[in-house]
Structure 1
Amino acid sequence: MRLAFLEPLYAEPGPYVSVYLDTSRDVDRPERAIDLRWRRLRESLSRQGAGRALLNALEEVVGSDAELPGAHGQAVFAAHDTLVLDGELPSPPAHDSARYGTLPDAMPLVTQHVPEIPYLAVVVHYGGLPTADTHGWVTLEAEAGTWPASTVTPGERLRRRVAVATWHRAAVRLGHRLDERARHARADAVVVGGDEWACNVLLRRLPRGLRNRVVRVGGPTPTDTGRALLEPQLDHVFRGRMAVHDRELVDLFVSRRAGGGPVSEGLAAVVAALQRGQVAALLLNRPPVSARRLWVGALPTQLALTEAELVSFGVRAPREEPADEALVRALVGTGAELVVVPEPELRLPEQVGALLRYADAGTPSPRPP
C-alpha cells in the first residue's frame, strides 16, 4: 500500500489535531447526532490545549459529507489553524476520538484503506426477454475503484444504453472500453452483476485477459445509491483478501528471509532500517504495532527506541511519541510502502518486519536537524 495520499499531512510542522468521527447518515436526525459528537470532541481538544481558531477550522468541515448516505466516518487533521487533510472513512470509527499532539494520529486512517484492492465493477441491466423483446434496452454501468476506500469515494462512472437488437455487436466495443479502464486502474478483479443473459453476452466478448479476472456476483444491483457500484458484493468478494501487489511483497519477504536476503524483523531492527531510509515496505501483522512508544526528532528518519540513542546522533530535544505515529511519518517521509499481513499467513516478531531497499552495509546515524 502506497502512502502518497498522506504527504499533504506532513507538509506542515505540528502540533496537529487529529479527529475521527462517526458521520453516518443511517440514523434518526443525523445532523444532531454528529453535532453532539463533535461538541464532546471539541471540549476534549480544548482541554488538551488546542486554540479556538484551530477548533473553528475543524468545525467548518466536520459533518460536511452530508451527501454521502449510509454508515461511514470522517478523519480530519489540522495544524496552525488550517485544515491539512479531510478523509472519508469507509466504516465509522470504533469510537470517536480527538488528539492534539506533535504528530498526527494517522494510523487509523491508513488501516481503513487496507487492503487497497484495485477493481472494476460492472452492472448490466435488461428488463425484457431476449428471445421475444427486441425493442428494449440494455444499460451498462462501470466504475473503477480501490476497495474499501472507494465505497465512500466512488470514481467516475461509465454509463451506456444500447438497443437490445445491437447488444451483441455493442458488447464487443464495450468490452474493449472496459479493458482499457481495468488496465488504467490496474484492477486485480472485475466484479460483474446484473441480468444473466445480458451479462453472459458481454462476458463472452471480453478480451481474454480481462475475462480471466471476472468475478460474477448475484443479489440486488442498484445503481443510484450514491455509494460504490456493487458495494455489498464488493465486501463479500474482497473481505479477507490481499491486493495482488501486497501479496507479491509478502512473497518476496518470505523468499528473502529464507535465502538470507535484505529484510529486517522486530521493532528494533525495523527502526534502525528506517533511520537509514532503507525500508522499501513495512509489514505489519496488525496495527497498532504495540503499545510501545518511540523517541523522535524533527525529521521522519529521526526515530529510536531510546532518548539516549537520538541524543547520541546529535538530535536536539527529542520527544516520546506513540510508535504508530512515528512509524507512519517515517514511511511517508522515506517513500516506503505499508503491507498489513494476516498473522496466520506470516507471523512477524513483535508484529513487524521490513523489506529493505539494499543489503545492510553499516549503520549510519540519522541526520541531525
Structure 2
Amino acid sequence: MRLSFLEPLYTEPGPFASVYLDTSRDVEHPDRAIAQRWHRLREKLSRQGADRPLLGVLEEAVGADAEVPGMHGQAIFAANGSLVLDGELPSPPARDSARYGTLPEAMPLINQHLPEIPYLALVVHYGGLPTAETHGWVKVEAESGTWPASAVTPGERLHRRVPVATWHHSAARLGHLLDAWARRTHADALVVAGDQWAGNVLVRRLPHAVRDKVIRVGGPTPTDTGRALLEPQLGSVFRGRMAAHDQDLVNIFIGRRALGGPAAEGLAAAVAALQRGQVAALLLNHPPDASLRLWTGPHPTQLALTEEELLSCGVRAPREEPADEALVRALVATAAELVVVPEDVLGLDGGVGALLRYADRPGTPA
C-alpha cells in the first residue's frame, strides 16, 4: 500500500490534532447529531492542550462532507492553526476519538484504506424486447475506484448509450477503451453486473488481459446513489483479499527470506533499517498494539526501541510515542510502502518484516 496520500500530514512540525468522527447522514437530524459528537471531542482536545484557533479550524471542517450520503465518517488533522488533511472514511469509526499530540494518529485512516484494491466497476443495462436483439438500446455505466475508500470517494465515471443493433460493434470498441483504462489504473479486477446477454457480448470482446480480470456479480445495480458504483457487491468480492501489488511484495519477501536476500524480520531489525532509509516496504501481520511505544526525535528516521540509542546518536530530548505513529511517519518520509498481510498467509517474527532497498554490506552494524 502506497502512503503518498498521507504526505500532507507531515508538512507541519506539529503538534497535531487528530479527529475521527461519525458523520453519517442516514439518521434523523444528522447535523445536530454531528454537532453533539464534535462538542464532546472539542472539549477533550481542549483538555489536552489544543488552543482556540486550532479548534476553530477543526470545527469548520467537521460535517463539511454533507454531500456524501449514507454511513461514513471523517478523519480530520490540523496543526499550527491550519487544516492539514481532511479524509473521508468509507465506514464510521468504531468510536469517535480525538487526540492532540506530537505526531498525527494516522493508522485508523490507513486501516480504512486497506486493502486498497484498484478496480473497474461496470453495469450493462439492456432496454428492449427480451427476444429482439435489433431494437432498443444498451446503456453502460463504468467507474474506476480503489476499494474500500472509493465508497465515499468514487473515481472517474464513464457513460455510454448505444443502439442495440450496433452493440456487437460498439462492444469491441468499448472493450479496448476498458482495457486501456484498466492498465492506466492498474486495476486488479473488472467487476461486471447487469443484463446477462449484453454483458456477455461485451466480455467476449474484451482483450484477453482484462477479460481474465472479469468478476461477474448479481444483485441490484443502481447507478445514481452518490456512492461507489456496485458498492454492495464490491464488499463481497474484495473482502478478505489482498491487492495484487501487495501480494507481489509478499512473494518477493518470501523469496528473499528463503535465499538470504535483502529483507529483515522482527521489530528491532525493521526499525534499524528505517533509520537508514533502507526500507522499501514494511510488512505487518497486524497494526502495532496500542501499548507498543518507540522513542523518536524531530526527524522521521530518528526512531529507536530505547531512549539511550537516540541519545547516543546525538538526538536531544527524545520523546516516547505510539509505535504506529512513529512507524507511519518514517514510512511516509522515506517513500516506503506498508503491507498488512494475514498471519496465515505469511507469519513474521514479532509480526514485522521489511523488504529492503539494498543489502547491508558484510560487517555493517545492525
**1:138, 1:162 within 8 Å by CA — same for their partners in 2?**
yes
TM value normalised by structure 2 = 0.97
Secondary structure class of the residue paired with 1:121: strand
In structure 2, what residue type is equivalent to 1:123?
V
In the other structure, the counterpart of 2:48 is 48
2:19 counterpart of 1:19:
yes
**2:139, 2:161 within 8 Å by CA — same for their partners in 1?**
yes
In the other structure, the counterpart of 2:28 is 28
In the other structure, the counterpart of 2:129 is 129
In structure 2, what residue type is equivalent to 1:42?
R
**1:296, 1:321 within 8 Å by CA — same for their partners in 2?**
yes
- Please list, as runs of the form range in 1=range in 2, the aligned pairs for 1:60-99 lying within 5 A after superposition: 60-99=60-99
Q: Distance in 1 between matches of 2:307 and 2:18?
A: 25
Q: CA offsets, 1:284-305, max 9 Å, x none? A: 1111355210110011100001
2:255 counterpart of 1:240:
no
Are residues 24 and 363 of structure 1, via their aligned partners in 2, closer, same or farther at CA, if it must alter by over 3 Å?
farther
- Please list, as runs of the form range in 1=range in 2, the aligned pairs for 1:219-234 lying within 5 A after superposition: 219-234=219-234
**1:130, 1:164 within 8 Å by CA — same for their partners in 2?**
no
In the other structure, the counterpart of 1:286 is 286
Secondary structure class of the residue paired with 1:224: coil
Secondary structure class of the residue paired with 2:95: coil
Q: Distance in 2 between matches of 1:179 and 1:131?
A: 30
**1:276, 1:363 within 8 Å by CA — same for their partners in 2?**
no
In structure 2, what residue type is equivalent to 1:346?
L
In the other structure, the counterpart of 1:261 is 261
Q: Distance in 2 between matches of 1:60 and 1:95?
A: 21
Q: Distance in 2 between matches of 1:135 and 1:59?
A: 55
Are residues 363 and 85 of structure 1, via their aligned partners in 2, closer, same or farther at CA, if it must alter by over 3 Å?
farther
RMSD: 1.3
Offset of residue 127 of structure 1:
3.1
**1:17, 1:77 within 8 Å by CA — same for their partners in 2?**
yes
Q: CA offsets, 1:43-91, max 9 Å, x none? A: 0000000000000001111111111111111100000000010000111
TM value normalised by structure 1 = 0.96
Question: Which structure 2 residue ranges, 5 or more long, are not aligned?
Answer: none
Count how many residue pairs are aligned between Structure 1 and Structure 2. Answer: 365
In the other structure, the counterpart of 2:161 is 161
In structure 2, what residue type is equivalent to 1:323?
A
In the other structure, the counterpart of 2:152 is 152
In structure 2, what residue type is equivalent to 1:157?
R
Question: Which structure 1 residue ranges, 5 or more long, are not aligned?
Answer: none
In the other structure, the counterpart of 1:346 is 346
Secondary structure class of the residue paired with 2:256: helix
Offset of residue 163 of structure 1:
1.0
**1:297, 1:303 within 8 Å by CA — same for their partners in 2?**
yes
Offset of residue 246 of structure 1:
0.4
Offset of residue 259 of structure 1:
1.3
**1:130, 1:197 within 8 Å by CA — same for their partners in 2?**
no
In structure 1, what residue type is equivalent to 2:244?
V
Q: CA offsets, 1:226-255, max 9 Å, x none? A: 000111111110000001110011011111
**1:276, 1:364 within 8 Å by CA — same for their partners in 2?**
no
In structure 2, what residue type is equivalent to 1:52?
R
Q: Distance in 2 between matches of 1:284 and 1:133?
A: 53
In the other structure, the counterpart of 1:113 is 113
Are residues 230 and 217 of structure 1, via their aligned partners in 2, closer, same or farther at CA, if it must alter by over 3 Å?
same
Please, which moves more after superposition, 282-291 or 268-277?
Answer: 282-291
In the other structure, the counterpart of 2:275 is 275
Q: Distance in 1 between matches of 2:259 and 2:169?
A: 53
In the other structure, the counterpart of 2:326 is 326
**2:118, 2:147 within 8 Å by CA — same for their partners in 1?**
yes
Secondary structure class of the residue paired with 1:77: strand
Are residues 167 and 304 of structure 1, via their aligned partners in 2, closer, same or farther at CA, if it must alter by over 3 Å?
same
